[in-house]
Structure 1
Amino acid sequence: MHAKVKQLVPKESQDEAVRSVRANYRAEFISAGYQGYLHLAMTMTLGLGVIALCIYWLDSPSALEWLTIPATFLYANFAEWAGHKYAMHRPVKGLGFVYKRHSLQHHKFFTDTHMEIDSHQDFKAVLFPIAIVGFFVVAFFVPMGFLLAWLFSPNVALLLVATGMAYYLNYELLHLSYHLKEDHWVHRIPGFTRFARLHTTHHDQRIMAHKNFNITYPIMDWLMGTWDRR
């Protein structure tokens, strides 16, 4: 049934629709001076800088404090799943810009049959804006860090911030990699294609609001019953 439904829309019509969406998006949102590699470099520099500071400020963490890393990883995986399932695919009051950018722009720019970017300028349709990264650092990591430092210890706070930022960078790199051309070297990394296929399935517009919300590791998709390995 899945294949039959696909055939109802001629491939030529799908190609033309995606080309039109991409042309309009580029004209409206991507300036001539935008550099995708610079955007990626700024994201990595900000993230790695935060991680480096956290590691520098650590003061001989105890064995119990080190458990902050796996706990934060699981929490981040849940936050990724929940944020993607709800704010990114359902209009939420106060977060409408997230829904618009993801469901109405990203998922029209990339479909399950048109996953590849055309050039580095298309990074704009994948990577989060630097301003949003800064917003999450200030709005989430800073208050959460102070709270955990007060409740537990500064080491716990630093490990949470470092792990959360590392998870975010992992998210951005994996997501971008899924949209690189199939002849890119990342597609030759063992196991990479399995994750890429899960994301390709998510970009099927008929199921995008229901399946494969983990961009990184499908732990919560598996636990919550939203994992589709098709």
Structure 2
Amino acid sequence: MDATNASQRMALQFRQRYRSAMNPDYVPYLHAGFVFSFGLGIMLFSATQLELSQPLGWLILLLALLVGNFGEYAIHRWLGHNKLGNGGLFYDRHTGDHHHFFVDSLMTCDSARDWRVLFFPPWLIVLVVITIALPGQWLINQFSELTLGAFWSVGIVFTYLFYEIMHFSYHLPTGHWSESIPGYLTLKQRHIRHHNLALMHHANFNITLPLFDALLSSSDPHQTN
């Protein structure tokens, strides 16, 4: 109990400092709105090119979902929780800000302005699209007379948006209706355990589906808070 109270007190103090340093012009709904409108726009653009009758396309989609899930795991584990070279900025934002703003005993936002430390910065989805989604789509199309690359873009952008949605939902108040979805509460509790300051560098790095946590033996099945 003392450790819980201490981490909560530190989080409250950190929140006060973080909020006081925030740009007063920050608009949370513009932040979230850009991320989801841009991502959905790319998905819809790519979806108009899908050849749904092509089995190979569905295999490409599955590959994109697996790559996205691994990317979620790898970036979170090896960049978000390790200060490596050019990844220092991401480490500072994730471990330095996010994990000190939200601890396992204090997971919810007090207002929409707290989304600043919850969602990825808006430019990141643009970077993912122009460096991973669209180049992959173009490359796949070079080896096919069909536009099979569209499956790749849809899958990559979907994993990004799915991450943002799931992560946001884990920071909603206890008792939210989302907890009634079968299997969801287990995922939320996994993420809450990840926000234990003693555990965060070691376990539960997948945010959506814990596939690579299972494959790489980094799941923590036990309640620690």
- TM-score by shorter chain over 0.5: yes
Shift of 1:54: 0.3
The partner residue of 1:83 within 69, 75, 86 is 75
Within 5 A, what are the aligned runs for 1:34-183? 34-59=26-51, 61-152=53-144, 155-183=147-175
The aligned counterpart of 2:10 is 17
What's the CA shift string for 1:51-81, capped at 9, x where partnerless?
0000112345511222111121112111111
CA–CA distance in 1 between the matches of 2:87 and 2:144? 31
Shift of 1:38: 3.0
Among the aligned pairs, what percent are the same residue? 30
Q: CA 1:123–1:151 in structure 2 vs 1: closer, same or farther (change >3 Å)?
A: same
Gap runs ≥5 in structure 2:
none
Residue identity in the other structure for 1:210: H
Shift of 1:171: 0.3
CA–CA distance in 2 between the matches of 1:28 and 1:144? 39
Q: Number of residues paired by the alignment?
A: 222
Residue identity in the other structure for 1:27: S
Q: CA RMSD in A?
A: 1.8
1:220 is the counterpart of 2:212: yes
The aligned counterpart of 1:33 is 25
Residue identity in the other structure for 2:201: A
* TM-score, scaled to structure 2: 0.91
Gap runs ≥5 in structure 1:
1-6
Query: Any idea what SS the aligned residue of 2:79 has?
Result: coil
Contact 2:51 2:148 in 1 (8 A): no
Shift of 1:210: 1.1
Contact 1:199 1:212 in 2 (8 A): yes
